[in-house]
Amino acid sequence: MNGQGYHRQLCGEQIPFHGRILAVANTYARLVQQQGDQKDPAEVLRKMHSLVDIQFDRVCYEALVTSVMGVGDLGNVPLRPQKAGNLTEREVEVLCLLAQGQNTPQIAQTLVISRKTVEHHVAHIYDKIGVSCRTAAVVYAVQQGLV
């Protein structure tokens, strides 16, 4: 199940449910990002379907499909950042860069700000959206249509 419990010698349903959800969501976000400008969420879901019950939990995969399909026509998934909740424009920029896989130094370089400022933005993002790790923040970004 995507190795999320390997360090604890866990596999399958022994991995906590939230870990299985994050594994599916993280893989989805990575595969969508790898598509570049030709974002096709339906194609990503088709690729992931072959891994259900091998690498991914079926319930978690089906929840992902429901979430993606709930966005509406998959051809119209927004590709540009939108205002997400009460995040500032800069926080949305930082969140989008996080979702694209950039680390703190890369985000600082991209936005021409200090690493410490990036860390402050990330802390504020986590607090505002109620998460405690980058993977969960990426899941939020995907759900909000920011990536």
pLDDT in tens, 14-43: 777 777 778 888 888 888 888 877 777 788
Is 0.95 topped by the overall pTM?
no
Task: Measure Cα distances from 50 to 54, 79, 109, 136 in Å.
Answer: 8, 26, 38, 24
Beta bridge partners of 80: none
Asked if residue 83 is part of any domain, the answer here is: no
**Share of residues in the chain with pLDDT > 70 (%):** 79
Question: Is 74 or 103 the better-scoring residue by pLDDT?
Answer: 103
72 shares a domain with 11 = yes
State the total domains in the chain. Answer: 2
65 shares a domain with 103 = no
Give pLDDT, residue 6: 44
63 shares a domain with 94 = no
121 shares a domain with 96 = yes
93 shares a domain with 71 = no
C-alpha 107 chain-centroid distance:
16
pLDDT at 63 over 50: yes
Are 91 and 123 contacting, i.e. CB atoms less than 8 angstroms apart?
Answer: no
Give pLDDT, residue 81: 42
Give pLDDT, residue 50: 80
Asked if residue 82 is part of any domain, the answer here is: no
- Domain span including residue 100: 89-143
Task: Categorize the per-residue pLDDT at 84 as very low, low, confident or very high, splitting at 50, 70 and 90.
Answer: low
Specify burial of residue 38 (Cβ count, 10 A radius: 0-12, 13-18, 19+).
Answer: exposed
Within 10 A of 104 (CB to CB), how many other CB atoms are there? 19
Asked if residue 84 is part of any domain, the answer here is: no
